[in-house]
């Protein structure tokens, strides 16, 4: 099978072309995932671009993105496949009496009556796809088992039809906000990637790419202030997406040079807890 | 190469990281796709396949540094490296242009005085010149650490010696001063803070360079395996409360927050799911209406266990203070899982601190208030469990009811005072459960002035609680 990527550098450049600034770790792991044919488990704080990574990879390779949003109570009829019960009923009623039992039986469990859900769809697709299983930590431990077959063998077993094997191996991303420990079995099948808050230089570049109106000078100040805020012991540190929102706000307000007062007035865009805002405001204006 | 990797994996396992056989095989396969000379890619290939928990990443990095530090051209140990000399000449050239008097001195880095090194370091930090910082780190380790082959001292000793000579704290002050001058006058508070963050970040970076340099030299001297053993640090969840260093405390604090979140989610789920009760007849009949009176869908009663009421009584004297702090933090972080939490702290006097946590969103702040404001000293400020328990029984004993679980925290080192163990017996007879958590290793119990056995006989269980892992296990059982 042809590989999608030639080198780590190519992944990196490609991602930059679609406005996603990857670091060594991200591009390296994406490259490996393609070569080894393994899914990537992406963990990290909220708002650091985990989901965006999958979208950008899809964008970059020109693949279709198939997304499965996980939630408590997700089951196989929502994730894998379901028999189209109503259509089956219609089929039986349509020619009542004419067909023999075995004909109908074979017929109504054919692929015409199968409703594909995201996982099966990703496997049966002819065109290149990227499968994103979002927030996998939200499903129960038992439901995780449902993913195991598809993640390691890229196949789905349907009792009535047999085993459906993937026509091509899709790139699979699983994201997790780490609200619970995922099972060993799932982790073992994946490559692990932890996406943390970017360092200052990268954050500045991200702001510059995502908010083109911002000046270099302002982006630098933004990145520095955000880094400073992240060092304070907060309930929820500002995420990258919040940094970008903040940059947009500052541009809209026409601020070119941030002083303490302006920073304080716009803090509520970066921080979402009142106690955090108070704390940060105090820290930023402290005289040493 | 294979041998080296086998040793590497072995060391990871020794450090406590669970690396399975398949993960090992994956790593081998991954390496075939990675250009071996690309060190970063090499590292991430190993990391992505073998480390599946972010808390373990630091341990992985340390082991990686030890095993693969000597490979790669920029990490030569030999003295008088060419790139360094070239850089030095360039620097001289610059200085000459600026009319600096020192510029006309010849020679290489080795012939500099310590003052000049400090000067160079300052300008490197000022401009954020990475290459220069690395070169200076090497130079200062070579000069100040006084490393001798085969000397049986740890890397921290060398680190201390090097840093003492460099006076980095003073450096921060000087840097701030310099940047103030650059602007010409005073900085605003915000700017001041940003500058300071920037410089301390760079200084941290420099410290890391020095550490790495010392490690490289030690590995060259002693070999990777011996080195890995001395550098082996416990994972955050295994760090002992009683012996944690300041850095470890920081990482413990960081580890605590996601842990409480996970614990709360798990407890809530446990409460909601699982246990199926007997058939709920009314509910089944009601639902049968939608099937035309056929009870097609049986409904069950789910038992809803009452949330326990919790009383935490913690010793906050010297050695066990850290443990009490972490337990209180953990308990308050998941207080939604209990119907009521009351907390008391004592040394030889006892005080209720429940109010400090009320209306205070920030648990860390509340804990700080507990440590500074609570009235816990009765006579001399040495632990007296007996007296503290007696007063507890007098004042709050009437509040203990059949729903209350009492948690006693401490090492039971009573300084040979009277134990007053009868109080625990009385509490036990009124409360639902009484547990004792001891942060000392089990083998130390009942030695010296520890009388945990005296108290323990009257409780429902004494648990060893030396690290986060054990604490988490206990709290999960409790709720």
Ranges of each domain in chain B: 2-68, 106-222, 306-478
Give the span between the Cα atoms of A265 and A281, in whole angstroms: 9
Contact B313, B346 (CB under 8 A): yes
Query: Which two structure tokens, joined as six digits, stand for B90?
Result: 């360039």
Of A8, A263, A287, the CB nearest to B41: A8
Give the span between the Cα atoms of A7 and B35, in whole angstroms: 9
Q: Is A285 in contact with B189 (Cβ distance < 8 A)?
A: yes
Q: From residue A35, how far is each of A171, B24, B98 by CA, in Å?
A: 10, 17, 53
Q: Is A188 in contact with B20 (Cβ distance < 8 A)?
A: yes
Give the span between the Cα atoms of B57 and B199, in whole angstroms: 26
Give the span between the Cα atoms of B120 and B104, in whole angstroms: 15
Q: Is A25 in contact with B30 (Cβ distance < 8 A)?
A: no
Of B33, B54, B194, the CB nearest to A224: B194
Pairing of strands A155-158, A162-165: antiparallel
Give the span between the Cα atoms of B261 and A76, in whole angstroms: 28
Looking at 3.40.630.40, 3.40.50.410, 3.40.50.620, 3.30.540.10, the CATH number of the domain B306-478 comes to 3.40.50.410
A40-89: per-residue pLDDT in tens?
A: 999 888 888 888 899 999 998 889 999 999 888 888 888 888 888 888 88
The percentage of residues in chain A with a pLDDT greater than 70, rounded to a whole number, is 97
B365 and chain A: CB distance < 8 Å anywhere?
no
Query: Which two structure tokens, joined as six digits, stand for B167?
Result: 């006076």
pTM: 0.72
What is the enclosing helix (H) or strand (E) of B433? strand B433-438
Q: Is A288 in contact with B196 (Cβ distance < 8 A)?
A: yes
Query: Which two structure tokens, joined as six digits, stand for B372?
Result: 């500074």
Q: Can you give the pLDDT at residue B112?
A: 65
B458-468: per-residue pLDDT in tens?
A: 888 888 888 88
Give the span between the Cα atoms of A285 and B191, in whole angstroms: 10
Q: Is B51 in contact with A192 (Cβ distance < 8 A)?
A: yes
Contact A243, A229 (CB under 8 A): no
What phi, psi does B68 have (nearest 5°)? -120, 25
Q: Is B10 helix (H, G, I), strand (E, B) or coil?
A: helix
B416-431: per-residue pLDDT in tens?
A: 888 888 888 888 888 8
Give the span between the Cα atoms of B175 and B398, in whole angstroms: 61
Instruction: Give A217's contacts in chain B (Cβ within 8 Å).
Output: none
For residue A83, list its beta bridge partners.
Answer: A114
Instruction: Give B49's contacts in chain A (Cβ within 8 Å).
Output: 32, 191-192
Give the span between the Cα atoms of A262 and B200, in whole angstroms: 25
Instruction: Give B362's contacts in chain A (Cβ within 8 Å).
Output: 275, 279
Q: From residue A20, how far is each of A16, A226, B393 by CA, in Å?
A: 5, 19, 63
| Predicted complex ipTM | 0.80
What interhelical angle do B246-272 and B468-478 show, nearest 10? 20
Q: Is A188 in contact with B192 (Cβ distance < 8 A)?
A: no
The parts of chain B modelled with pLDDT lower than 70 are: 69-112, 128, 145-156, 183-189, 221-237, 269-276, 303-306, 359-363, 479
Q: Can you give the pLDDT at residue B82?
A: 45
Give the span between the Cα atoms of B207 and B214, in whole angstroms: 11
CA distance A194 to chain B (A): 7
Which residue of chain A is at minimal alpha-carbon distance from B18? Answer: A184
pLDDT per residue rounded down to tens, chain A (288 residues) = 567 888 888 888 888 888 888 888 888 898 888 888 889 999 888 888 888 899 999 998 889 999 999 888 888 888 888 888 888 888 888 777 666 777 777 777 888 888 888 888 888 888 889 999 998 888 877 788 888 888 888 888 888 888 888 888 888 999 988 777 788 888 888 999 988 888 888 888 888 888 888 888 888 888 888 888 888 877 788 888 899 999 999 889 888 888 777 888 888 888 888 888 888 888 776 543
What phi, psi does A169 have (nearest 5°)? -80, 115
User: Positive or negative, the Cα torsion across A170, A171, A173, A174?
Assistant: positive
Which residue of chain A is at minimal alpha-carbon distance from B257? Answer: A235
CA distance B190 to chain A (A): 6
Mutate to test the interface with A, among B48, B195, B368 (most CBs of A within 10 A): B48
Instruction: Give B193's contacts in chain A (Cβ within 8 Å).
Output: 228, 283-284, 286, 288
B476 and chain A: CB distance < 8 Å anywhere?
no
């Amino acid at each position: 099978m042809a590989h999608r990527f030639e080198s780590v550098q190519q992944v990196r450049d490609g991602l930059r072309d679609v406005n996603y600034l990857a670091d060594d770790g991200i591009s390296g792991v994406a490259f490996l995932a393609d070569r080894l044919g393994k899914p990537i488990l992406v963990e990290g704080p909220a708002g650091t671009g985990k989901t965006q990574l999958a979208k950008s990879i899809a964008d970059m390779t020109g693949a279709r993105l198939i997304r499965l949003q996980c939630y408590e109570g997700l089951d196989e009829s929502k994730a894998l496949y379901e028999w189209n019960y109503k259509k089956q009923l219609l089929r039986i009623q349509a020619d009542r009496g004419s067909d023999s039992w075995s004909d109908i039986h074979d017929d109504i469990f054919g692929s015409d009556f199968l409703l594909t859900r995201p996982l099966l769809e990703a496997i049966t697709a002819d065109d290149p796809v990227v499968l994103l299983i979002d927030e996998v930590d939200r499903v129960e431990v038992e439901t995780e088992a449902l993913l195991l077959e598809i993640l390691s063998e890229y196949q789905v077993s349907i009792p009535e039809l047999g085993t459906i094997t993937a026509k091509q191996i899709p790139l699979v991303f699983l994201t997790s906000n780490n609200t619970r420990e995922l099972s060993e079995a799932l982790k073992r099948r994946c490559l692990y990637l932890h996406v943390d808050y970017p360092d200052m230089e990268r954050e500045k570049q991200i702001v510059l790419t995502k908010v083109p109106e911002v000046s270099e000078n302002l982006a630098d100040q933004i990145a520095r202030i955000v880094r400073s805020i992240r060092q304070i012991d907060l309930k929820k540190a500002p995420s990258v997406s919040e940094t970008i929102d903040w940059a947009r706000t500052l541009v809209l307000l026409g601020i070119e040079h941030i002083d303490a007062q302006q920073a304080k007035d716009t803090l509520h865009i970066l921080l979402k807890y009142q106690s955090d805002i108070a704390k940060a405001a105090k820290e930023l204006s402290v005289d040493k | 190469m294979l041998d080296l990797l086998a040793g590497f994996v072995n060391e990871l396992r020794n450090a406590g990281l669970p690396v399975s056989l398949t993960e090992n095989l994956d790593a081998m396969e991954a390496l075939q796709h990675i250009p071996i000379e690309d060190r970063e890619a090499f590292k991430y290939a190993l990391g992505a396949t073998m480390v599946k928990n972010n808390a373990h990443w630091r341990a992985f990095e340390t082991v990686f540094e030890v095993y693969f530090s000597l490979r790669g051209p920029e990490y030569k140990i030999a003295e008088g490296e060419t790139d360094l000399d070239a850089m030095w000449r360039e620097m001289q050239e610059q200085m000459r242009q600026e009319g600096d008097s020192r510029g006309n001195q010849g020679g290489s880095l080795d012939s500099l005085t310590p003052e000049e090194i400090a000067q160079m370091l300052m300008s490197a930090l000022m401009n954020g010149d990475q290459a220069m910082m690395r070169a200076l780190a090497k130079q200062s380790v070579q000069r100040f650490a006084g490393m001798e082959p085969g000397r049986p001292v740890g890397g921290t000793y060398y680190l201390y010696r090097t840093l003492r000579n460099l006076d980095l704290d003073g450096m921060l002050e000087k840097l701030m001063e310099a940047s103030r001058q650059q602007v010409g006058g005073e900085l605003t508070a915000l700017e001041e803070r940003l500058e300071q963050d920037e410089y301390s970040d760079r200084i941290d970076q420099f410290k890391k360079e020095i550490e790495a340099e010392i490690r490289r030299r030690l590995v060259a001297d002693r070999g990777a395996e011996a080195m890995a053993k001395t550098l082996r640090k416990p994972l955050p969840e295994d760090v002992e409360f009683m012996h944690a260093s300041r850095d470890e405390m920081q990482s413990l604090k960081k580890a605590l927050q996601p842990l409480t979140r996970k614990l709360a989610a798990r407890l809530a789920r446990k409460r909601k799911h699982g246990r199926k009760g007997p058939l709920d007849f009314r509910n089944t009949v009601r639902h049968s209406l939608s099937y035309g009176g056929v009870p097609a869908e049986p409904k069950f009663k789910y038992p809803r266990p009452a949330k326990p009421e919790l009383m935490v009584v913690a010793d906050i004297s010297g050695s066990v203070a850290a443990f009490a702090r972490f337990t209180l933090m953990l308990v308050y972080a998941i207080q939604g899982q209990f119907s009521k939490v009351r907390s008391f702290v004592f040394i030889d006097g006892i005080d209720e601190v429940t109010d400090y946590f009320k209306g205070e969103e920030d648990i860390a702040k509340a804990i700080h208030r507990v440590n500074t404001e609570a009235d816990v000293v009765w006579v001399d400020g040495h632990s007296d469990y007996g007296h503290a328990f007696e007063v507890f029984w007098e004042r709050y004993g009437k509040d203990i009811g059949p729903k209350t679980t009492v948690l006693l925290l401490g090492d039971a080192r009573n300084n040979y005072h009277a134990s007053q163990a009868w109080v625990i017996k009385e509490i036990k007879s009124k409360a639902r459960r009484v547990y004792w958590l001891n942060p000392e290793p089990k083998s130390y119990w009942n030695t010296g002035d520890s009388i945990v056995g005296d108290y323990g006989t009257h409780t429902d269980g004494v648990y060893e609680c030396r690290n986060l892992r054990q604490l988490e296990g206990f709290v999960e059982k409790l709720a």
